[in-house]
Structure 1
Amino acid sequence: MARRIVFWSAAELSTAIRTRAVTCVEVMTAYLDHIGEVNARVNAIVSMRPRAELLVEAGEKDRLLRTGTYQGWMHGFPHAVKDLADVAGLPTSFGLLPPTAGPATMDALFVERIRAAGAIFIGKTNTPELGLGSHTYNNVFGTTLNAYDQTKSAGGSSGGAAVAVALRMVPVADGSDFMGSLRNPPGWNNVYGLRPSFGRVPSPDGEQFVSQAGVVGPIARDATDLALLLRTMSGYDDRAPLSLHDDDPGRKPLRGGRIAWFGDLGGYLPMEAEVLRVTRAALDTFTALGMTVTTLDDLPSFGSFTGKDDLWPTWLTLRHWLGGSAIKVAYHDPALHPLLKPEAVFEYDGLAKLTATDVMEASELRSDLYRGFLELFETYDYAVLPTAQVMPFDAALRWPDKIGDTTMSTYHRWMEVTTIGTLINAPVLTLPGGFSTTGLPIGLQVIGRNHDDYALMDLAQAWEKQTAGLRRTLPPLLG
């Protein structure tokens, strides 16, 4: 029974708890035992709460059920929050602060909602320092390793979350995404992820009125669980003035739909051959769903945005501005500054060189890229690219400094493929794409129209049914 519990989908687990086919104590015991067996091999979950304390809380969830109180679909679920967001009573390290920094006193906005749905917070999922870079390592907790190969990177910055889901250490997980962090880790660990439309999920601490690029979203083993967690996390909140009222326009037919495949943008993006081989083969699934796929070699041009050559300069300016601003406090703190890795210093130093004119010009380019995609979506339903430009790399590396013969100019240039969805603030779905000849996963990122998150959920459901073999290919650690 215990092994079966952790292999149930989140939806199945929810039903079993609600109908009292299994107790919350049994669920917690099964998950904690499984975490004890697996987590040391991958280092995905950190800041774990004491077992006895968690079992007492699970017992209280059972008492509530016996007295007729059912908190929601996550009643009794063990859940670990990405270590960039606050959970009352748990430390938030950001991959930078030592555990002695003390616990948070309040929940982040989306954490409030997960708690209200009945979850029990068991700890945190590991993240790179300040969430920078798509490789999950830091000096506080160490490196998170890939679910399918413990010599390889898990991706980042939601690497701990994706690995915890892939290895059945939690039923579902939350993550966040600025530059692919809800796309690359799910893609490299054979699970589903969604970077929601900006505002769909209120940001952890509310937002400034200046539009940001980071969002919070769900990671899950299957499409049903992904949609369930999205609905829990999403919806308007007065404390987040740019958040959206949740809406679902209903199902969108897939047959007859059109896919714009950007691939490596006609050779502009350096990309490993194995990435292109696996992801191009995965396009056959769209065909099987009754959709047509057309290859495009450049981004849509509009106004000041003339095409793919404008992509990186636009991105780097806005990344310095938004990412560097988030680092400001740590950069100027005498105790924290020496702990910052070079990538963080790079972002802040880039911010220091910017003028207001630089930011406005980049914002105009970004806006014109969005308008170009508005025109593209008059012809195509979705734009599709790989989730990364390389397959999972050696976990001992800081980041890939070359792809083929091309040297990467920054620590994140190898993830340029993810900048498009962020710049246009579109919802982007991560679908499992397949495996390399050595058994490593890679995914597809599917960019939808603005606010069309739930149409992407429908696509995920159809994709899952068509690719059952990918779901059955479990990480070797699961036997």
Structure 2
Amino acid sequence: MTRRPPRAKLGGMDELCALDATDLAQRLRRREVSARDVVAAHLDRIDRVNPAINAIVTLDAEGALAAAAAADEAVARGAEPGPLHGLPIAFKDTHDTAGMRTTYGSPLLADYVPASDELIVERIQDAGAVRIGKTNVPEFAAGSHTFNTLFGTTRNPYDLGRSAGGSSGGAAAALAAGLTPIADGSDMGGSLRNPASFCNVVGFRPTPGRVPSHPTDNPWDTLGTSGPMGRTVADVALLLSVIAGPDPRSPIALETPGAAFRVPLERNLAGLRVAWSPTLGGLPVEPVVADVLAGAPAVFAELGCVVEEATPDLSDAEFVFRTLRANAFALQFGDRFDRRPELFKPALAWNIEVGRKLSGADVWQATTAWARTYRAAAAFFDSYDVLIAPVSQVPPFDVDEEYPEIIAGQDQHSYLDWMRSAYHVTVLGAPAISVPAGFTPDGLPVGLQIVTRPRSDLLTLQVAAAFEAATGHGRRRPPL
């Protein structure tokens, strides 16, 4: 038997693991490389690298190799490869996967094996992706630091002593470390954006309804949404093109087909009106983060944009988010908490108890305040096309801390406080993306948050792609 020559290594990383997902997908479609080779390369890297970062917590190497072989054989028989043909993916451990353990990071569900895939998983696999496992999350995805009692803590590939963010922290770390080329995630208070910022990848919270959810106990929910992650904006658009699109089981699903996002993202930004909000209306921001982002307005000016300092009215955002989140947590987790309170982390137990103290009037007031915020945002986006701001107010923090307790000299009293720059934007109901924006003097990644009018998801991607091309920060890989 003739031995195949070893594949090229890029900075110690197998070439197939270093390629952008869009490039890798094209090579797979042209049959320049097989799905078997791609999956095997990623499994090998997981074996070597994952123990250090703990991003992937459930792995089915045998099943993945069998699925890759079946994908190769189908194409050999003349089947048309899907847009994600042969790309390995580890699904977020809060997304149900048929026949594969889905724990939600909780000991209550340590042995839960769903009977069916949820919609986002189904769409990704139908597009040809190969399931290899699951990525780590905080308990019930609560919090922007990924740790739980089942699997432990996910570490940042750029500095193993730092947090990878959350709740899609395992997904972001896996992307940054070359363990997967694409990743799915979800975002209520920043869970796609924060880990992307911490791990120097791209995380996109689309307009609610763009990526429909099924099954779900609250199909009308617009506070949380699923979305794509990748190492480039084009990779994120590729994955969005698969997971977006209407579904009759979702009452808020937007009608635009996903294929509308499988287009070139190049766009002339000349004349675009950009609002720069360095503190989102007075939030504390660590100086090292502010320093990294200070050059962002100049980048947009050089791209021909008209840049001004401005902030939408977010005066009600804190009350809206904290009230509706607590109410949702009390309703969603209350019965489980009553049965086994000792199996809930203190922060989650506290959030449930806050929700239980709310009255119907509290929830109604938050709902009407949300309506005011949405109307104010609509008026703001009549004056500006784009809002740019920090994703996170801090750089990646010590991995052994639950959350940053002080930001720029101001105390943070709960696991939620430090996430305001992300969850205040959640309340706008707008598409928001985190794109790599640079590094602190210690080499820690910092992301820029780009926000546009609700339903203008393609514009968000185009603006992010232009910033990405002009700066190139996302090309820097971790020293693993």
Normalised-by-shorter TM-score class: over 0.9
Quote the sequence identity (%): 38
> Partner of 1:161: helix, strand, or coil?
helix
Q: Does 2:373 correspond to 1:363?
A: no
1:476 matched residue in structure 2: 479
8 Å CA contact 2:155, 2:399 repeated in 1: yes
Bigger CA drift: 421-430 or 136-145?
421-430
> Partner of 1:180: helix, strand, or coil?
coil
Q: Could you tell me how far apart the structure 2 residues matched to 1:137 and 1:434 are?
A: 26
Q: Does 2:412 correspond to 1:397?
A: no
Quote the offset at 1:409 in angstroms.
2.3
Quote the offset at 1:281 in angstroms.
1.7
2:34 matched residue in structure 1: 23
Map residues 211-360 of structure 1 onto 2, 5 A cutoff.
211-246=221-256, 248=260, 253-266=268-281, 268-296=282-310, 299-300=312-313, 308=315, 310-334=316-340, 337-360=341-364
Identify which of 371, 382, 389 aligns with 2:386. 382
> Partner of 1:200: helix, strand, or coil?
coil
Structure 1 residues 11 and 222: alpha-carbon distance in aligned structure 2, compared to 1, 3 A threshold: same
1:114 matched residue in structure 2: 124
> Partner of 1:433: helix, strand, or coil?
strand
> Partner of 1:383: helix, strand, or coil?
strand
The one-letter code sitting in structure 1 at the alignment partner of 2:423 is T
2:24 matched residue in structure 1: 13
8 Å CA contact 1:212, 1:322 repeated in 2: no
8 Å CA contact 2:137, 2:169 repeated in 1: yes
Q: Could you tell me how far apart the structure 2 residues matched to 1:138 and 1:79 are?
A: 22
CA shift digits 1:74-94 (9 cap, x unpaired): 112211110101011111111
2:460 matched residue in structure 1: 456
8 Å CA contact 1:75, 1:119 repeated in 2: yes
Quote the offset at 1:224 in angstroms.
1.3
Quote the offset at 1:135 in angstroms.
0.3
The one-letter code sitting in structure 1 at the alignment partner of 2:271 is G
Structure 1 residues 349 and 466: alpha-carbon distance in aligned structure 2, compared to 1, 3 A threshold: same
The one-letter code sitting in structure 2 at the alignment partner of 1:45 is I
Q: Could you tell me how far apart the structure 2 residues matched to 1:465 and 1:98 are?
A: 44
8 Å CA contact 2:312, 2:380 repeated in 1: no
Q: Could you tell me how far apart the structure 1 residues matched to 2:214 and 2:293 are?
A: 33
Structure 1 residues 70 and 203: alpha-carbon distance in aligned structure 2, compared to 1, 3 A threshold: same
8 Å CA contact 1:207, 1:242 repeated in 2: no
Bigger CA drift: 273-282 or 136-145?
273-282
Q: Could you tell me how far apart the structure 2 residues matched to 1:99 and 1:344 are?
A: 16
CA shift digits 1:109-152 (9 cap, x unpaired): 01110010011111001000010110000001110011210000
> Partner of 2:161: helix, strand, or coil?
coil
Quote the offset at 1:472 in angstroms.
2.7
1:130 matched residue in structure 2: 140
Q: Could you tell me how far apart the structure 2 residues matched to 1:312 and 1:15 are?
A: 44
CA shift digits 1:369-408 (9 cap, x unpaired): 1111111111111112101111110000011111233111
Q: Could you tell me how far apart the structure 2 residues matched to 1:42 and 1:99 are?
A: 23
Bigger CA drift: 69-78 or 195-204?
69-78
Q: Could you tell me how far apart the structure 2 residues matched to 1:329 and 1:292 are?
A: 52
* Stretches of structure 2 lacking an aligned partner (at least 5 in a row): 1-6, 9-13
CA shift digits 1:176-219 (9 cap, x unpaired): 00000111100111111110000000124246354341100000
The one-letter code sitting in structure 2 at the alignment partner of 1:218 is P
Quote the offset at 1:242 in angstroms.
1.3
Q: Could you tell me how far apart the structure 1 residues matched to 2:106 and 2:369 are?
A: 34
Q: Does 2:48 correspond to 1:37?
A: yes
> Partner of 1:445: helix, strand, or coil?
strand
Bigger CA drift: 339-348 or 209-218?
209-218
The one-letter code sitting in structure 2 at the alignment partner of 1:325 is L
8 Å CA contact 1:151, 1:394 repeated in 2: yes
8 Å CA contact 1:207, 1:240 repeated in 2: no
> Partner of 2:388: helix, strand, or coil?
strand
Quote the offset at 1:265 in angstroms.
3.7
Q: Could you tell me how far apart the structure 1 residues matched to 2:38 and 2:277 are?
A: 43
Alignment length (residue pairs): 464
8 Å CA contact 1:146, 1:189 repeated in 2: yes
8 Å CA contact 2:275, 2:386 repeated in 1: yes
1:153 matched residue in structure 2: 163
1:445 matched residue in structure 2: 449
8 Å CA contact 1:109, 1:206 repeated in 2: no
Q: Could you tell me how far apart the structure 1 residues matched to 2:222 and 2:207 are?
A: 12
Q: Could you tell me how far apart the structure 2 residues matched to 1:411 and 1:175 are?
A: 20
CA RMSD of aligned residues (A): 1.8
Q: Could you tell me how far apart the structure 1 residues matched to 2:390 and 2:187 are?
A: 16
Q: Could you tell me how far apart the structure 2 residues matched to 1:71 and 1:46 are?
A: 29
Q: Could you tell me how far apart the structure 2 residues matched to 1:104 and 1:71 are?
A: 27
Identify which of 421, 425, 433 aligns with 1:417. 421
Q: TM-score, normalized by length of structure 1?
A: 0.93
Bigger CA drift: 97-106 or 3-12?
97-106
8 Å CA contact 1:144, 1:160 repeated in 2: yes
Quote the offset at 1:420 in angstroms.
2.4
Q: Could you tell me how far apart the structure 2 residues matched to 1:326 and 1:370 are?
A: 25
8 Å CA contact 1:82, 1:174 repeated in 2: yes
> Partner of 1:391: helix, strand, or coil?
coil
The one-letter code sitting in structure 1 at the alignment partner of 2:49 is V
8 Å CA contact 2:192, 2:203 repeated in 1: yes
The one-letter code sitting in structure 2 at the alignment partner of 1:23 is S
Quote the offset at 1:285 in angstroms.
1.6
The one-letter code sitting in structure 2 at the alignment partner of 1:47 is T
Quote the offset at 1:433 in angstroms.
1.1
Q: Does 2:227 correspond to 1:205?
A: no
8 Å CA contact 1:133, 1:156 repeated in 2: yes
Q: Could you tell me how far apart the structure 2 residues matched to 1:346 and 1:394 are?
A: 23
CA shift digits 1:211-261 (9 cap, x unpaired): 341100000111211111001001111121211112559987521111112
2:58 matched residue in structure 1: 47
Quote the offset at 1:328 in angstroms.
2.3
The one-letter code sitting in structure 2 at the alignment partner of 1:350 is V
